[in-house]
Structure 1
Amino acid sequence: MKFFTADTHFFDHNLKQDLHFAQRNFLTVAEMNQTIMDNWNRIVSENDTVYHLGDIAFLRSSKAEYAKMFTILQQLHGHLVLIKGNHDTRAFFKYLSKNNYLLSDQLPKFVFHDVGCILKFDHFQFFLTHYPLMLGISKNSINLHGHVHHYSVNSAANINVGVDSPELAYLIAKRPFGTPISSNEIVTMVAGKKKDFQKR
C-alpha cells in the first residue's frame, strides 16, 4: 500500500513557541516522537511505501543528530520516499543515502527527491511536493503537499497531507495524531474538498 504524510518535525523543541504546532499539545518532544511512531507503525507494514513530503525533523547539522534521527527512521515501517522540505538539509539526505539498506523485498529503505515526484492512481495525477503548487484549472491533477501545517490552501486542487492538516476532517473517522494517510483516504479527501468548494 501507499501512504502519505508531511511535517512530522521529529525532535522539534520549538513546538511550544511556534503557533504552527499549537494543536499538538504534547508535554515533551519524546512523547510526540513516540506517538507518531506508534500511530505510523499501527497501519504501515514492512513493505508498504510512505511518501513523506518534507520537514521530517528539526535537527542541528551534526552526525550525532543525524544518527539520532536515523534510529527513529529505522523503527518506522515501510519504504520511505523522502521529498525535501525547508527543514531537511542535503547533508542529512546524504547521511541517509550513505546508510541506506534493503528491506525484505530487496528494495531500498530510502528514496530521495529534492523537489517532488508524480504519482498516478484512481484516475488522478498527483504532484507530490513540500510547498503547495498553484496548478490553475486542472480536471484530474492534484497537488499533495505539506509546509502549511494547520492551514488549508484555498484551492480544491491542493490537499495538505501534513500531520497537522485541517483537511483530515474530510475523513469520516478521527485519526490518531501522526497516522499516515492511505491512497484510498487521499481520494476521499479530494472528493470531500471538491464537494466543499462546490457549495461555495
Structure 2
Amino acid sequence: MLYLITDTYLGHQNMLKSCGRPARFTNLILDNCRKMVRSNDTLIHLGDVVWNEEELMRFMKLPGHKVLVRGNHDKKSTPYYMEAGFDLVVDSMMMTLQGIQILFLYVPQYGHTADINIHGHQHDLHYEDVFHRYWPLALEHMGDKPLPLDDKTVGVLQSWGKRGRNPSKKEIYALHQGYLGAATTRDYIGNTKAAMPKPLCFWADDGTEHMVGNDDAACFHYHTGCIFLAMQRDIFEQQLGEQTYTAVQLPWEGARFTQPYRIIEQQAGTVRSESSPFASNMVLCWFHVAGFAGK
C-alpha cells in the first residue's frame, strides 16, 4: 500500500499558531503513522518533514519504506537523509498508477504535463492553474494522518482527468480531506494577498487598457507563468469583464517586469455563495503568461 503525507514539521512549535495544530501534534502524527503504515507499505512524504534531528530519528523508526520528495525546509544533503533511513530522496517524482501519470512535488508545478500533480506546501486546498489537474494536500485537512493512495483513490483521480477539469472543493474534501469540515475562504483563494505597488494593467484584444489594483482584488498571486486573481463579481465585471486579453503589465520594478507579458491562455470561474464562504459571488481568474508582448 502507498500512503501520502506532507508538511509534518515535526517538533516545530510555530505550527500551533500558524496552522492551528494541537499542542501534541508531533506525537499525534507519529501515532497515526504507526497505526496505519505497515512494514511492507511505502510512505511518500511530500516535504518539510521535521524541525530537528531528534524528531527525524523518531520519524525514521516508524514502520514502512519511506520516500522523501524534498520541501523547502528539507535542507540537509541527500546522503544525510539516506543515512537517516529514507529509501529514496528526490526533488520530484513521476509515477504511473492504473494508467495515469502522477507528478509528486512539494510545491505545485504550474503548466505541468502529467495527468495530475499531487503536492503539499500550501496548507490549504486552493489551486491557481485551472488548465492542468492538481490534487493539493493539506495535513490539517487530512486529520494529521497519512492518506492512502489505494486503487479507489487512484480511480477517483482518473475520473477527474477524464472529464477534463479540476475537482470542486467538495470533491477534494470528500477524498480523505474532510477533517476540518466545510471549505473556507483560504481554501478557495489562498492564504495571502500580495500587495501590488501599482495596479496591474491588462490589454484587451481591442486595444483598450483595464486596470486592477489592490482595492479591486480580494487576492492576487503571481508565479512564473501564472497570474491568479480573486475578485467580487461586480468588480470583475467593471474592471475586466468577459473579454479576451492579450498582454499584462506586472506591478513590480526590475528587468523581468519592464515590458508587458503576453497572455497565452485565460479563464474565469465563479464560486457561488450557496457552496462557498463568500457573501456574494466571487470570480477566480487565471492567466497564463509567457515572454514579452512587445508593446
Fold conserved (TM > 0.5)?
yes
- Structure 2 unaligned blocks of 5 or more: 172-268, 271-295
Find runs of 4+ consecutive structure 1 residues off by over 6 angstroms. 197-200
Residue number among 9, 32, 43 corresponding to 1:39 in the alignment: 32
Q: SS of 2:17's equivalent?
A: coil
Amino acid at match of 1:132: P
Q: Cα distance 1:75–1:163, how it changes in 2: closer, same or farther (>3 A)?
A: same
Q: Cα distance 1:195–1:128, how it changes in 2: closer, same or farther (>3 A)?
A: closer
Give me the CA root mean square deviation.
2.8
Comparing both structures, which one devotes a greater share of its residues to strand?
Answer: 2
Partners in 2 of 1:194 and 1:185 — Cα distance? 18
Q: Cα distance 1:116–1:15, how it changes in 2: closer, same or farther (>3 A)?
A: same
Instruction: State whether structure 2 residue 181 is matched by structure 1 residue 196.
Output: no
- Taking structure 2 as the reference length, the TM-score comes to 0.49
Q: SS of 1:90's equivalent?
A: coil
Q: Cα distance 1:195–1:87, how it changes in 2: closer, same or farther (>3 A)?
A: closer
Instruction: State whether structure 2 residue 42 is matched by structure 1 residue 49.
Output: yes
Deviation at 1:33, TM superposition (A): 1.2
Comparing both structures, which one devotes a greater share of its residues to helix?
Answer: 1
Deviation at 1:135, TM superposition (A): 3.0
Q: How many residues align?
A: 165
Residue number among 110, 122, 140 corresponding to 2:87 in the alignment: 110
Deviation at 1:152, TM superposition (A): 1.8
Structure with max Cα Rg: 2
Deviation at 1:85, TM superposition (A): 0.3
Q: Which has the higher contact order (CA 8 A, sep 6+)?
A: 1
Percentage identity across paired residues of the two chains: 21
Residue 7 of structure 2 corresponds to which residue in structure 1?
Answer: 7
- Structure 1 unaligned blocks of 5 or more: 60-65, 101-108, 169-175
Residue number among 106, 118, 133 corresponding to 1:144 in the alignment: 118
- Taking structure 1 as the reference length, the TM-score comes to 0.70
Residue 72 of structure 2 corresponds to which residue in structure 1?
Answer: 86
Deviation at 1:146, TM superposition (A): 0.5
CA contact (8 A) 2:57 2:84 kept: no
Taking the TM superposition and a 5 Å limit, the aligned residue runs for 1:15-34 are 15-18=15-18, 21-22=19-20, 24=21, 26-27=22-23, 31-34=24-27
Partners in 1 of 2:154 and 2:89 — Cα distance? 24
Residue 133 of structure 1 corresponds to which residue in structure 2?
Answer: 109
Q: SS of 1:36's equivalent?
A: helix
